[in-house]
Structure 1
């Protein structure tokens, strides 16, 4: 079975208010890319990775007239993808939903957010934690609540799949250096709180003898910014400490930070170059590590097959600023 996570930048912009796909020469949210170009590129990438289930990060919007599942299923129908069905968790207000495209002949997922307690509430609720050691609890909420799915594989295997998109640490809206520092620290503090909340939910599933796959855009990794030393560890390290495993995350925690894998590539116009970062992960619980897992980052320049396949390489660069990560595993 192949599972994937793919953050598709500005995917929501490719649908109208009634979830009809917009395929024309108007500009997409991507720089210098039309909607038609991005639509075709996304379809090429999803066809190439040929996954049984794809977590779509920044999926189309659910709102007054829009519906994420309907939009994704229409996209799959237009391009005859075998991942013809979709499921999502809690809708949010950001126009960036979390949803799973899947092959209904291979697996049956359903949204199944178990009730928790005060120390690990459901992801649509409020998490209380003292973030700054002032003896006063802060209230933390997810702008994009993680999606908890109960999954049955056609082989009879059952597992828990959790899709996540943790808060970005970028200081959006800052108008001065001091404000940027303040916002960056506040954002990292909230992101770490989200990781702790997520880790407690994962521990509860593991304690119930459930196998877990956590996947998505964690917007973090060891050594990614200068504020990490203030808090001692990254969100990724917090999640690995639950007993989950991802070889790219493990490599990043112990290797030269200039050498670790990357799953995203962001233009830096002022500097005339690109920033690469490891942000997207597929972590598995210990009970799945004997199922011959094999991870792959579909990076247009680092993956040999992608690099030697011009059409796929260009599609990856056109579709999004993130690249898919896949996990092949015997389930």
Structure 2
């Protein structure tokens, strides 16, 4: 079975209020990219993944008229994708949902929210964020998507799709303001990861095969504030010390190196430096029992993956479709 996670920048902006794809000459929310350009590029990338299940981060909006499922299933039909069925969970407070797009011939998926080890992800979690001995309420703006996956042939397992808090100091009006916002955002991001890790630990204690995947907006050594807090959110979710660990080879590589060339799953343009910034933000973490069944992890990177680099059309599609690139993992569940 091939599982993928893919953050699609402003996917929702490609659909109208009736969930119809707008593949036209209007501008998308990506710089210098029309809706037709982004939609066609995404169709090419999804076909290239050829995954049995794709955790879509920043999936189309869910609201009074907007339907994540209708938008994604319409998109799949438009580009003749075998991942023709979509499933989402608790709606986001933003226009960015988490959803699974999957092939119903190869697996079934059910929304299976839990309160094991910690509150449900659509509720509040009390944690002291600023070391004043007073618990602060933590809430996910994009609640993780908890699923029970049953392959057509093979071992069932739990899957949790994640889009953790961004640490970027959006709205800052001065360097001091940027520092304050960045530290506050990191506190919340770490709190979300602690919350998630408690759920992970509880499932692992029960012996449940588990996969956690998505965009963590974080990674080992990613910013200076990690020194202030001692560890990244990714390290918290992976598990430390005596905790039952999860595994992702790209995270393991980043933790081992800390310096030098590292894997990356995202590419952002920075106006202040007039350069592109590469970052490892997207992961597929698996429990030990699934790791024993796992084969290749792959980042469909337009420059670092030789097959993507050697295919000019796919390389262009990856750069046009999103500021993130898909991560793919192969599992033998038979």
Alignment-derived partner of residue 126 in structure 1: 124
Shift of 1:329: 1.1
Counterpart residue number, 1:316: 318
Structure 1 Cα separation of the partners of residues 293 and 264 of structure 2 = 25
Determine if contact 2:57/2:214 at 8 Å carries over to the other structure: yes
Taking the aligned partners of 1:49 and 1:181, their CA distance within structure 2 comes to 38
Shift of 1:288: 1.2
Question: 1:289, CA displacement in angstroms?
Answer: 1.6
Give me the whole-angstrom Cα distance separating, in 2, the residues matched to 1:302 and 1:105: 32
Q: Name segments (4+ residues, structure 1) moved above 3 Å.
A: none
Aligned length: 329
- Tell me how far apart the structure 1 counterparts of residues 104 and 58 of structure 2 sit (CA, whole Å): 22
Aligned to 1:66: 66
Secondary structure of 1:293's aligned partner: strand
Q: Give 1:294 shift.
A: 1.3
Cα-to-partner distance string for 1:268-301 (whole Å, 9 max, x where unaligned): 1332210000000000001112114210000000
What TM-score, normalized to structure 2?
0.97
Distance 1:127 1:223 in 2: 27
Unaligned regions of 5+ residues in structure 1, if any?
none
C-alpha distance in 1 between matches for 2:279 and 2:154: 37
2:108 is equivalent to residue 108 of structure 1: yes
1:215 aligned to 196, 213, 218, which one?
213
Is the CA contact 2:62–2:97 (under 8 Å) kept in the aligned structure 1? yes
Matched, 1:7 2:14: no
Aligned to 2:278: 276
What is the Cα deviation at residue 133 of structure 1? Answer: 1.9
Deviations 1:94-151 (A, max 9, x none): 000000000001110100012346xx10000000111222111011000000000011
Are positions 1:159 and 2:157 aligned together?
A: yes
Compute the TM-score of the two structures, normalised by the length of structure 1: 0.98
Aligned residue runs from structure 1 range 133-282, under 5 A: 133-241=131-239, 242-282=244-284
Any stretches of 5+ residues in structure 2 without a counterpart? none
Mapped to 2, the partners of 1:220 and 1:246 lie a distance apart of 14
Question: Is 287-296 or 303-312 further displaced after alignment?
Answer: 287-296
3-state DSSP class of the match of 2:303? coil
Q: Distance in 1 between matches of 2:82 and 2:138?
A: 38
